[in-house]
Amino acid sequence: MCDTCGCSITPGNQQTAAASHAVPVLEGLLAENDRMAAHNREHFARHGVLAVNLMSSPGAGKTLLLEATVEALKGELRCAVLVGDLATDNDARRIAAHGVPAVQIGTGQACHLDAHLVHDALHGMDLSGIDILFIENVGNLVCPASFDLGQHRNVVLLSVTEGDDKPAKYPVMFRAADLVLLSKADLLPLMDDFDPVRAEVALRDLATDAALMTLSAKKGQGMAGWLGWLRAEQAALRRPRPAAARPHFGVLRA
Amino acid sequence: MHELSIARALLRQVERVARTHGHGAVRGVTVRIGALSGVEPGLLASAFPQAARGSRAEGAALTIEAVPVRVRCDDCGAESEASANRLVCPVCASPHTRLVAGDELLLVSLDLEKADDV
């Protein structure tokens, strides 16, 4: 039955059917967000800013990683950070203490950032002196995956204190990742339930070629790979063809 | 729970489309939700009436067309149904697959009351 030829109209529903008409739309539910994300992306492009959306569960170490990262890149690449948080500005203050611009985005009850929130926050930030803008999303492996912010790259942290099957449990998030960081790797010797190989198998089951790296921001282990990735992505922005091949390495192929 | 945000965005879209078709009430809204879209159909269905309150879609029936995940393999060419967390080719196990269905998040159509009934 369809709404075109009238085959859906029976004597019983004739009144109802005749009183209404179907209007086809076929438009994305997030069209409004996507338009704003495209606007943000143009804004980043105009200023030569690499925008990196950082996502993870709460407590996977996003803020500590950012603190170590902006510190390591000091004098080389100018960083700024937008921090999405439900209630406090603790994380933004931690990052600002390292002397980089950090703007807090209070999301209230919202469990994710959207393109409009990021756009509003950009009004409080001068992008002309920035090379890399990190967007620290709300700690949540579900909701942030659905909202394009205008970022160039998605980085997802999976800490070794979590389950190594997280990519199988949150496929939408991990499929969106351009880079997966196994964080808090200094704890690996203690966390014998977490197997990095199993984590990568679950990731590869999503048919993604996202790079996977293991690091500890706290102990400074594995930071060189991550910093190198950032440098390469930032440099790729300035090339006429930004489609740099994704480095293909991880636990399985190392 | 981002389904309430999605429901609100949906309602804004519904209002916009309905406005271009006269003044009638919205009786039905049909959306298409893929299994890999990140949106839980049940949660959207329960958020919808709340988001619709006070709009011209208040009381409208929400129809959700659930779309299963399908992948096409670049290596063997097979097109198969897949599960959300296993997107490699079910036929030849190649990781070089492309999603052909399952990430939809679409407003498909509206069922509008005819203006002359109002």
Over the stretch A187-235, which tens digit does the pLDDT of each residue have? Answer: 999 999 999 999 999 999 999 999 999 999 999 999 999 999 999 999 9
Q: Are B68 and B103 in contact (CB under 8 A)?
A: no
**Res. A5: pLDDT tops 60:** no
Q: How many CA atoms does the CB half-sphere of A27 hold within 13 Å?
A: 20
Interface TM-score (ipTM) > 0.85: yes
Q: Are A128 and A44 in contact (CB under 8 A)?
A: no
How many helices and strands in chain A, by DSSP H and E? Answer: 9, 8
Best of A16, A23, A32, A114 to disrupt the B interface by mutation (most B CBs within 10 Å)? A23
Q: Which residues contact A126 (CB under 8 A, 6 or more apart)?
A: A101
Nearest CA in chain A to B33: A29
Residues of B with CB under 8 A from a CB of A: 1-2, 5-6, 9-10, 12-13, 17-18, 21, 24, 27-28, 31, 36-39, 71, 84-88, 95-97, 105-114, 117
Q: What does the alpha-carbon distance between residue A197 and residue A100 come to, in Å, rounded to a whole number?
A: 36
The Cβ of residue A139 has, within 10 Å, a number of other Cβ atoms equal to 20
**Res. B118: pLDDT tops 50:** no
Q: Cα distance from A227 to chain B (closest Cα, Å)?
A: 28
Q: Cα distance from A121 to chain B (closest Cα, Å)?
A: 19
Reported confidence tier of residue A89, pLDDT bands at 50, 70, 90: confident
Q: Which residues contact A92 (CB under 8 A, 6 or more apart)?
A: A81, A83, A85, A102, A103, A104
Q: Is A108 on the interface with B (CB under 8 A)?
A: no
The Cβ of residue B87 has, within 10 Å, a number of other Cβ atoms equal to 23
Over the stretch A106-147, which tens digit does the pLDDT of each residue have? Answer: 877 778 999 999 999 999 899 999 999 999 999 999 999 999
Q: Which residues from A are below 8 Å from B97, CB to CB?
A: 207
Over the stretch A150-171, which tens digit does the pLDDT of each residue have? Answer: 999 999 999 999 999 999 999 9
Nearest CA in chain A to B34: A172
The Cβ of residue A42 has, within 10 Å, a number of other Cβ atoms equal to 11
Reported confidence tier of residue A18, pLDDT bands at 50, 70, 90: low
**Radius of gyration of chain B from Cα atoms?**
18
Best of A172, A203, A212 to disrupt the B interface by mutation (most B CBs within 10 Å)? A172
**Res. A244: pLDDT tops 70:** no
Over the stretch B88-108, which tens digit does the pLDDT of each residue have? Answer: 999 999 999 999 999 999 999
Q: Are B107 and B11 in contact (CB under 8 A)?
A: no
Q: What does the alpha-carbon distance between residue A159 and residue B26 come to, in Å, rounded to a whole number?
A: 47
Reported confidence tier of residue A242, pLDDT bands at 50, 70, 90: very low
Q: Is A154 on the interface with B (CB under 8 A)?
A: no
Least confident of A57-71, A95-109, B54-68: A95-109
What integer pLDDT is reported at residue B25 of this predicted model? Answer: 93
**Res. A241: pLDDT tops 90:** no
**B51 three-class SS:** helix
What integer pLDDT is reported at residue A88 of this predicted model? Answer: 80
Q: What does the alpha-carbon distance between residue A19 and residue B116 come to, in Å, rounded to a whole number?
A: 9
CA B26 to chain centre: 17
What integer pLDDT is reported at residue A251 of this predicted model? Answer: 56
Q: Which residues from A are below 8 Å from B95, CB to CB?
A: 204, 207-209
Cβ A207–B111 below 8 Å, yes or no?
A: no
The Cβ of residue A229 has, within 10 Å, a number of other Cβ atoms equal to 20
User: Which among A14, A20, A28 is positioned nearest to B22, based on CA atoms?
Assistant: A20
Q: What does the alpha-carbon distance between residue A158 and residue A18 come to, in Å, rounded to a whole number?
A: 55
**A109 three-class SS:** coil
